[in-house]
Amino acid sequence: MKDSEVHLGENIRAIRRIKNMKQATLARQIGITQQAVSSMERTPHIGSRRLQKIARALDVTISSIWEFKETVVLKEINPVTKAILIDNIADLLLQKISKTA
């Protein structure tokens, strides 16, 4: 996938949801408002400094955000948390399928 085709905001939203994190929590951790997180998740391009903060807050690598795949995110999550998040991933996949159908 080309960089121009990557929608970083959507990838961040998906990772945040998989990790069961609220926008307000992410906002607090990176020093912006919840409204700014909401706006950012609709933005395809995000600056490198902010992306570094987001990756740290989500406990993933920057490349995981760029090359978002549910399996990569799961690999980076604490094993105790994985079982809880499987349901969230299934829900996200169903949402993606229903949007494309």
Q: In terms of residue numbers, what domain contains 70? A: 3-100
Q: Between helices 8-18 and 79-100, what is the axis angle to 10°?
A: 130
Q: What does the pLDDT read at residue 74?
A: 58
Q: What does the pLDDT read at residue 1?
A: 46
Residue with tokens 């760029």: 66
Check the CA dihedral 38-41-90-98 and report its sign: positive
d(CA 28, CA 34): 8
101 residues of the chain, pLDDT tens digit each: 444 578 999 999 999 998 889 999 999 999 999 999 999 999 999 999 999 999 999 999 999 899 886 655 556 666 666 666 777 777 778 887 887 76
Q: Which amino acid is at 53?
A: K
Q: What does the pLDDT read at residue 88?
A: 73
Q: What does the pLDDT read at residue 47?
A: 94
Report how many domains make up the chain: 1
Query: What CATH number does the domain containing 38 carry?
Result: 1.10.260.40
